[in-house]
């Protein structure tokens, strides 16, 4: 029986499969980076574009000014690109809004709704306009929980001119301004709600699915991933104001975005530990992640329990420490992914790809929040990038599950092969006993023959040493020699031609091994078995040529 061609085919298949996987990995990384760049290039925070709007911002000024002082001093205004503003380290900013002539006409008949979509800075907006009675009027508008704490108000229809002014307050307030007609506004609400519903539905579905996988497979990585998705959904619900709107009476859940974010980072680290098997990769890195997780939990619990009793400066220090610890956790997870990739773990490629995407997004968000770059990174865009990362992580878990099933199949095949080998060894032993009982084989040879019964499949060749012989076999990639107190003919009589074949008066070879016939001289040949050269007798040459 020749098994080497099957081994060669298996190795070729594995090599081709690994090349295919590598190519797929590069394609996935390229695709994700392209999608990331595409998302980053989009500068919108709403589903509907609404009406065209011209927004100008007053020149940078640290002084608090009224609308009269602003106009009397003729403060210069600069056009705002894409209707997006970021106050940065300024406490306030004046905006001048100019309506188109057609919009002014429609304002008298149909009306317009001004929408200020902003981040979680809970400060009111002041709307100043000159009425038709030539009197300045001021409206103070607060964020509405029904609209995720965005500021929504109707534009007054008694404007004297096509311009009005807005005063925004709050450092690092980021906002986009839109003007809608009534039907456009409600259509935008419908699209935004549908978009959010699809996102939260996806989160819920993936979380429940992996929770069920955990109950079935008892694999901790699925439970950690399900928990991470649940906290990610809670973080988005809190950040977008859905928790406040849906649960208005549960005050302890209001404005908890930072705390939920801390728990989310802890869950991300826990998922990474199981997904990448960090404990086996680097025990030191595993301990560092544990320490940072514990520290972040302590900070979150402290903020939740006694945060309101502490001075604002202490809370800010705690917040800064939390950001640093979170950064260290992400660096640790990224380092673990690099280690796993170096050890050729396929699933680590998915984690590394998603982590790279996260770093790109997080870096842009940080630069945008600090007003270093002028980019509007809104909740919908963050949801899109999160959805892509979820798909990547899920693909990685699927690859792990597939690999586990493949390993299980291999183990089952090995177990089955071992069982067959044991059955075969038992048959050989019984046959040998029968031959001894029937005096076909001398019973004095039984101890020597018993030594090779379990080695028959591994034997390369047997060399005669007078009335004894030398058995050369391979075990665990090592060639081992064993001397037996019997001759070659006794081996042939005991085990037959199924395992041994004479190629020379002094040599037997394993007939189940792959053989390669090589010319030594003009008339002499050797047979090559696993790198061992065994001489071939001339009367056995034709038999070997037929097999080799």
DSSP SS3 for 181: coil
Across 228-242, 244-258, 376-390, the highest mean pLDDT is recorded for 228-242
Average pLDDT, whole number, for the chain?
81
pLDDT band at 28 (very low <50, low <70, confident <90, very high): low
**For range 461-469, the mean pLDDT:** 90
pLDDT at 125 over 80: yes
pLDDT band at 274 (very low <50, low <70, confident <90, very high): very high
Question: CA 214 to CA 209: how far, in whole Å?
Answer: 9
**For range 18-42, the mean pLDDT:** 53
- Asked which of 102-111, 151-160, 337-346 is least confident by mean pLDDT, the reply is 102-111
Question: CA 483 to CA 469: how far, in whole Å?
Answer: 6
pLDDT band at 2 (very low <50, low <70, confident <90, very high): very low
Tokens 């649960």 identify what position?
A: 247
Backbone φ, ψ for residue 172 (5° rounding): 60, 25
Kindly tell me the burial class for residue 541, based on how many C-beta atoms sit within 10 Å of its own C-beta (0-12, 13-18, 19 or more). Answer: middle
Backbone φ, ψ for residue 176 (5° rounding): -120, 140
**For range 70-98, the mean pLDDT:** 82
- Asked which of 38-47, 317-326, 406-415, 452-461 is least confident by mean pLDDT, the reply is 38-47
pLDDT for res 7: 39
Q: Own/partner pairs for 239-244, CB < 8 Å, 24+ apart? A: 239/120, 239/379, 240/148, 240/196, 240/379, 241/145, 241/147, 241/148, 241/149, 241/150, 242/148, 242/196, 244/145, 244/149
pLDDT for res 50: 59
């Amino acid at each position: 029986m020749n098994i080497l061609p099957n081994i060669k085919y298996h190795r070729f298949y594995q090599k081709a499969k690994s090349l295919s996987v590598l190519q797929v990995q590069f394609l996935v990384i390229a695709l994700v980076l392209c999608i990331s760049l595409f998302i980053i290039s989009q500068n919108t925070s709403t589903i509907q574009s609404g009406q065209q709007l011209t927004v100008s911002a007053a020149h940078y000024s640290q002084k608090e000014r009224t609308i009269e002082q602003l106009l009397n001093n003729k403060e210069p205004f600069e056009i705002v690109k894409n209707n997006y503003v970021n106050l940065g380290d300024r406490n306030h900013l004046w905006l001048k809004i100019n309506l188109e002539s057609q919009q002014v006409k429609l304002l008298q008949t149909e009306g317009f709704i001004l929408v200020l979509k902003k981040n979680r800075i809970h400060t009111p907006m002041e709307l100043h306009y000159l009425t038709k009675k030539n009197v300045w009027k001021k409206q103070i508008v607060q964020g509405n929980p029904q609209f995720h704490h965005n500021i929504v108000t109707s534009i007054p229809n008694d404007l004297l001119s096509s311009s009005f002014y807005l005063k925004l307050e709050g450092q690092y307030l980021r906002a986009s301004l839109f003007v809608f007609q009534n039907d456009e506004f409600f259509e935008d609400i419908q699209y935004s709600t549908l978009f959010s519903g699809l996102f939260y539905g996806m989160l819920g579905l993936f979380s429940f699915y992996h929770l069920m996988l955990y109950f079935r497979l008892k694999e901790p990585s699925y439970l950690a991933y399900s928990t991470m998705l649940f906290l990610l959904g809670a973080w988005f619900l809190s950040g977008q104001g859905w928790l406040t709107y849906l649960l208005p009476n549960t005050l302890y859940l209001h404005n908890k975005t930072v705390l939920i974010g801390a728990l989310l980072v802890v869950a991300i680290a826990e998922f990474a530990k199981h997904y990448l098997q960090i404990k086996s990769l680097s025990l030191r890195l595993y301990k560092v992640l544990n320490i940072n997780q514990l520290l972040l939990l302590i900070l979150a619990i402290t903020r939740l329990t006694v945060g309101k009793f502490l001075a604002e400066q202490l809370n800010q220090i705690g917040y800064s420490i939390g950001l640093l610890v979170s950064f260290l956790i992400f660096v640790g997870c990224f380092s673990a992914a690099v280690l796993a990739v170096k050890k050729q773990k396929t699933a680590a490629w998915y984690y590394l790809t998603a982590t790279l995407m996260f770093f790109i997004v997080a870096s842009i968000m940080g630069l945008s929040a600090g007003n270093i770059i002028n980019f509007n990174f809104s909740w919908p865009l963050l949801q899109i990038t999160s959805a892509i990362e979820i798909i990547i992580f899920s693909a990685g878990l699927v690859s792990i599950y597939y690999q586990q099933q493949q390993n299980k199949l291999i183990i089952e095949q090995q177990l089955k092969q071992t069982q067959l080998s044991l059955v075969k060894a038992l048959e050989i032993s019984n046959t040998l006993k029968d031959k001894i009982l029937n005096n076909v084989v001398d019973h004095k040879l039984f101890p020597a023959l018993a030594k090779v019964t379990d080695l028959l499949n591994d034997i390369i060749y047997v060399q005669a040493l007078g009335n004894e012989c030398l058995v050369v076999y391979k075990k665990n990639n090592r060639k081992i020699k064993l001397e037996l107190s019997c001759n070659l003919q006794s081996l042939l009589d005991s085990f037959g031609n199924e395992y041994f074949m004479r190629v020379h008066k002094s040599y037997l070879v394993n007939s189940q091994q792959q053989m390669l016939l090589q010319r030594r001289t003009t008339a002499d040949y050797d047979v090559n078995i696993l790198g061992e050269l065994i001489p071939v007798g001339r009367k056995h040459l034709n038999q070997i040529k037929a097999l080799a």
